[in-house]
Chain A
Amino acid sequence: MTLKTMNMPQLGESVTEGTVSQWLVSVGDEVDLYQPLVDVMTDKVNAEVPSSFKGIIKECLVTEGETVAVGTPLCHIEVEEVESPKSEATEAKATEQKPSVAQENQSMKKRYSPKVLSLASEHGVDLNAITGTGINGRITRKDVEVFVEKQTSQTTNEKQTDIYLSQPTQTPATQDNFTNNKQSPRPEFKGDREIPVTGIRKSIAENMVRATSEIPHAWMMIEVDVTNLVNYRNAEKAKFKEQEGYNLSYFSFFLNAVAKALKKFPELNSSWQGDTIVQHKDINLSIAVGNETELYVPVIKNVDEKSIKGIAKDVHVLAHKAKHGQLTKEDMTGGTFTVNNTGTFGSVQSMGVINYPQAAILQVESIVKRPVIINDMFAARDMVNLCLSLDHRVLDGVICGRFMSHVKEILENISGDTTPIY
C-alpha cells in the first residue's frame, strides 16, 4: 500500500489558485483512475478534478469553500500496488564549490577602470599599495575608497571625513528597503546637519512608504455646518472643565459621530489582508497625536460604547502620555480606523495617508466661520471640512459617500438631546 497525493492542478495559464467548491467523494470511498474527485473553481474555469490514481480516499485536506494555491495537496489516496522503488537516476547534483576568496590569479591587478584611476589621481593614491578584492586581483572603486578612508583617519583626529568615503564598504544585510538611495547624488552645503534616520522616524518612514506604494488611495471631502455643535459645546465647556478637569474638545464629538457612522457602515471599519478583507466588530479609532518631533497614533478602543465624556477623557489621557513619552504598545495597537485632527493647525483641507492596513482615514479640518446662504439669505455659520482618504481596493466611492453624508447628518443635528455629554 502506498499513499499518493492529489494536488491542486493549474487550471489555466496565469491561474495561481483554486477554490474547492464541492467534494464529490468522501474519506473511505473507493475511486477509479480519472473518476471526478472534486469541483474546483478558478478565475478562468470551473472544473471537475479527476483522480490520477485508483485507490481509497484516506484524507481530504482542503475543506469546501477553501481557496488554495496551485500545487497544494488536496487529498491522500491509498493505492494498492506497491511501486517498485525508482532507481535514483536523478543523481544529486555535485554542489559546485565556489572558488576560494583568496585568489592566486592576479591577472586583473593592473586593470584599472576609469573610475579607479580618477579616484587614485584625486586622492594622490599609489595603486600599487592597494590589494584588490575584485576578480583576479582587480582593484575596485571601493578598494580605493576604503584605502583613502583608512589613510585619512590615520592622519587626522578630527572626524571630518568625507561623508561619501566614510560609508561602510559592505552593504549591511539589514538595509532599509525604503532608503535604497545610497548612491543617489545629493547637494552638499557647508553647515548641513545630518540626522540619522532611526527609531520612530524610521518606522514612520517605513509605514508611509508602504501605505503610499501599496494602497491605491482615493480622496473625497465634504463640508459640514457645525454651528449647532459649536453652540452646544460653548454652552457646556466651562462647566465640563470645572467638573472634569480637562477640556471638552470638538474632537470628541467628531470621534463620536464617526463611531456611530462606522457602526452603520462597517465596510469602512475594515482592513486589507491580502486575499481577504476583514470587517472588524470593534470600533477602535486611531488618533494622531504628536509632540515636537514625533507623531504617535494611539488608539481609543470601543468608541461606539463611550459617551462624549468618556471619549474626551481618553483623548486627554493619550495626548498626555504621548507628550511625555509614556505610551505603551497596548495604547498603540488595535486601531480599525483613523481620525486625524488636522484642524488643530488651522488646516482646512488635507489628504491623509492611510494607516496601513486600515481601509480609510478621516481628517477633521479647522472649524471656520463663513457666510453661507440659507433660505436665500446670508448667514454666518461655523463650517468644517472633513476629508476622507480611502483604500480603493477595499472601498468604493458610493459607500464612502454614504458614510460621509451620514457623518454630516449626525454632526449637523448635534444637540443636548441627540448627543448627551454623559
Chain B
Amino acid sequence: MTVMSYIEAINRAMKEEMRRDDDVFLLGEDVGKRGGVFRASEGLYEEFGEARVIDTPLAESAIVGVGIGASMYGMKPIAEIQFVDFILPAVNQIISEAAKMRYRSNNDWSCPITIRAPYGGGVHGALYHSQSLEALFASQPGLKIVMPSSPKDALGLLKAAIRDPDPVLYFEHKKAYRLLKEDIPDEEVLIEIGKANTVREGDDLTVITYGLCVEFSKKAAEKLATQGYEVELVDLRTVYPLDEQAIIEAAKKTGKVLLITEDNKEGSIISEVSAIIAEHCLFDLDAPIFRLAAPNVPAMPYAPPLEKAFMVSEDKVYEKMLEVAQY
C-alpha cells in the first residue's frame, strides 16, 4: 500500500499502461517536457521519450482527430485536453467520429482512444476553467464517460479506459488532484467500466452522485449519521452509459433518493438517473426524487462569494440530505 493523491494515481495509471503496452501513447498540449500544466504526466517524457509523449500544436480538434486516426491503426492514444472547457472545438471529432466509428463501419473499424480532461470548479477557475461538460456527451451511444471520485478509482478507471476497445472520455476533477489522498494497493488495480460502486450503506436515504460530489457526500453522510440517519451512497463511476441496475436497486432500497451533481441541474446526468428511477421505482418511492445541483446559470463566476454560491459543497449536501431524511 502506498498513499497517493488523485493526480499521482492518474500519473501511475498512464505510466503502468505505457510500460505494459508499446501502443499506448500520450498526446496533448504541454504534456511532454512540462509534464502537463497540472503535472499529471510528470516523468513520462523522461521515461518514454518524445515519440510517445507528444507535445501537440494548440488545436483540440487535431489532438482528438489525430488520436482517432492513430487508434484506427491499432494504437492506444491518450489524448489530453488541457481543460474540459476547451474540448468544444473537438466535439465534432468526438461525437461525429469517435462515437460513431464502430457503428458506421458495421464493426469494421474501431476507435480505442482515451480522452482525458480536467473538469470541475472550486479552484477559482471562473467560467472557462470550472465547467462540468459530461452531459454534453452523455447522450451519444458509442461513447463511455468515466468520472473517478477517489485516487484508487482514478487509477483503476484510467487503466480500464486505456484498455477499453471503445472511445472513453475520462473526466478528472481538478480540485480533487491534490485534495484527495488515500492508500492504494501496489499491485494492479483495474475497475470495470459501466459499474457503479456502493461507497456506504444505509437505510434511511439513498444518495447517487459521482466525481468530487462523492467526497462531499461521504463527509456529509458521516455528519448525518450523528443525527440518526444512515445514507446509502452510490458512486456512479461511469456516468455514461449508466448502470441502471445499480441505480434501481439503490433507489428501491430506501425509497428516498437524493441525486447530486456539480453540473447545472437542467439536462444533467442526474436528470437521466431521475428518469430511470421514475420509470422503474414508482411503487418503491417514499418521497419525490430530490436533486441537488449547480444553478442554471451559464457557468461558475470567478469572485469567491459567487463561486461559493454556485458550487455544490459538503454543507449544501448535508442540508439537502437532512431535508430528504426528514421528509
Q: Which residues does A use to contact B, with CB under 8 Å?
A: 111-113
B283 to chain A, nearest CB (A): 5
Chain A contacts of B282 at CB under 8 A? 113
Chain B contacts of A112 at CB under 8 A? 283
- Chain A residue at minimal CB-CB distance from B282: A113
Cα-based distance from A112 to B284 in the complex (angstroms): 10
Q: Which residues does B use to contact A, with CB under 8 Å?
A: 282-283
Cα-based distance from A111 to B284 in the complex (angstroms): 9
Task: Count A-B pairs with CB separation below 8 Å.
Answer: 4
Question: Which 3 pairs across A and B sit closest by C-beta, in order of nearness?
Answer: A111-B283, A113-B282, A113-B283
Instruction: Give me 4 A-to-B residue pairs in the complex whose CB atoms sit less than 8 angstroms apart, sorted by A's number.
Output: A111-B283, A112-B283, A113-B282, A113-B283
Cα-based distance from A127 to B283 in the complex (angstroms): 16
B279 to chain A, nearest CB (A): 14
- Chain A residue at minimal CB-CB distance from B284: A111
Cα-based distance from A341 to B283 in the complex (angstroms): 61
Chain A contacts of B283 at CB under 8 A? 111-113
Interface of B is mostly: helix
- Chain B residue at minimal CB-CB distance from A110: B283
- Chain A residue at minimal CB-CB distance from B285: A114
B247 to chain A, nearest CB (A): 20
Cα-based distance from A113 to B283 in the complex (angstroms): 6
B94 to chain A, nearest CB (A): 26
A218 to chain B, nearest CB (A): 38
Cα-based distance from A113 to B285 in the complex (angstroms): 10
B125 to chain A, nearest CB (A): 43
Chain B contacts of A113 at CB under 8 A? 282-283
Cα-based distance from A112 to B283 in the complex (angstroms): 7
A111 to chain B, nearest CB (A): 5
- Chain B residue at minimal CB-CB distance from A113: B282
- Chain A residue at minimal CB-CB distance from B288: A114
Chain B contacts of A111 at CB under 8 A? 283
Cα-based distance from A112 to B282 in the complex (angstroms): 9
B286 to chain A, nearest CB (A): 10
Cα-based distance from A111 to B281 in the complex (angstroms): 11
B78 to chain A, nearest CB (A): 40
B284 to chain A, nearest CB (A): 10
Cα-based distance from A96 to B283 in the complex (angstroms): 30
A99 to chain B, nearest CB (A): 21
A120 to chain B, nearest CB (A): 15
Cα-based distance from A113 to B284 in the complex (angstroms): 10
- Chain B residue at minimal CB-CB distance from A108: B283
Cα-based distance from A111 to B283 in the complex (angstroms): 6
A339 to chain B, nearest CB (A): 52
Cα-based distance from A91 to B120 in the complex (angstroms): 57
Cα-based distance from A111 to B282 in the complex (angstroms): 9
A141 to chain B, nearest CB (A): 13
- Chain B residue at minimal CB-CB distance from A112: B283
Cα-based distance from A113 to B282 in the complex (angstroms): 7
A114 to chain B, nearest CB (A): 8
Cα-based distance from A168 to B283 in the complex (angstroms): 27
Cα-based distance from A210 to B282 in the complex (angstroms): 39
- Chain A residue at minimal CB-CB distance from B283: A111
Cα-based distance from A415 to B325 in the complex (angstroms): 87
B281 to chain A, nearest CB (A): 12
Cα-based distance from A148 to B283 in the complex (angstroms): 23
Cα-based distance from A274 to B93 in the complex (angstroms): 44
Cα-based distance from A113 to B278 in the complex (angstroms): 12
A113 to chain B, nearest CB (A): 7
B257 to chain A, nearest CB (A): 15
A137 to chain B, nearest CB (A): 13
B248 to chain A, nearest CB (A): 16
Cα-based distance from A297 to B98 in the complex (angstroms): 64
Cα-based distance from A279 to B264 in the complex (angstroms): 57
Cα-based distance from A111 to B252 in the complex (angstroms): 14
Cα-based distance from A272 to B142 in the complex (angstroms): 48
Cα-based distance from A311 to B97 in the complex (angstroms): 73
A140 to chain B, nearest CB (A): 13
B323 to chain A, nearest CB (A): 19
Cα-based distance from A197 to B282 in the complex (angstroms): 38
B256 to chain A, nearest CB (A): 14
Cα-based distance from A245 to B223 in the complex (angstroms): 96
B282 to chain A, nearest CB (A): 7
A119 to chain B, nearest CB (A): 16
Cα-based distance from A125 to B292 in the complex (angstroms): 37
Cα-based distance from A16 to B282 in the complex (angstroms): 44
B177 to chain A, nearest CB (A): 44
B151 to chain A, nearest CB (A): 43
B39 to chain A, nearest CB (A): 51
B18 to chain A, nearest CB (A): 47
Cα-based distance from A323 to B283 in the complex (angstroms): 60
B263 to chain A, nearest CB (A): 29
A139 to chain B, nearest CB (A): 12
A5 to chain B, nearest CB (A): 33
B29 to chain A, nearest CB (A): 40
A407 to chain B, nearest CB (A): 54
Cα-based distance from A410 to B170 in the complex (angstroms): 78
Cα-based distance from A111 to B280 in the complex (angstroms): 13
B319 to chain A, nearest CB (A): 26
A75 to chain B, nearest CB (A): 37
B178 to chain A, nearest CB (A): 46
